[in-house]
Amino acid sequence: EDGRVELFHLASDAGERLNLAKKHAAQAARLKGKLEAWRRAVGAVMPQVNPAYDPAGADQGLTGKEAPTPPVG
């Protein structure tokens, strides 16, 4: 969660390309409030920023071309 407010009309924009949050600010705010209330009600734990994260070491040389890990067993 990065604090962005997003609102999409999924029936006509399944790819979530057009964020309608500014155009329909009242509806976006209402839904955001409902989401926050639900998170509190269920005790949802939101991700926190990792203060030890070092973007210089994040790549780890991964290219996306590695062979899949074989199944265990």
Residue 47 pLDDT level (bands cut at 50, 70, 90): confident
Spatial contact of 46 and 39, defined as CB atoms under 8 Å apart: yes
The rounded distance, in Å, linking the Cα atoms of 65 and 16 is 28
Question: Is a pLDDT exceeding 90 seen at residue 27?
Answer: yes
Question: Is a pLDDT exceeding 90 seen at residue 65?
Answer: no
The two tokens of residue 60 are 């780890």
Q: Where are the beta strands (DSSP E) in the chain?
A: none
Span 5-22, pLDDT tens digits = 999 999 999 999 999 999
Q: What is the pLDDT of residue 1?
A: 66
Residue 57 pLDDT level (bands cut at 50, 70, 90): confident
Spatial contact of 32 and 5, defined as CB atoms under 8 Å apart: yes
Q: What is the pLDDT of residue 20?
A: 97
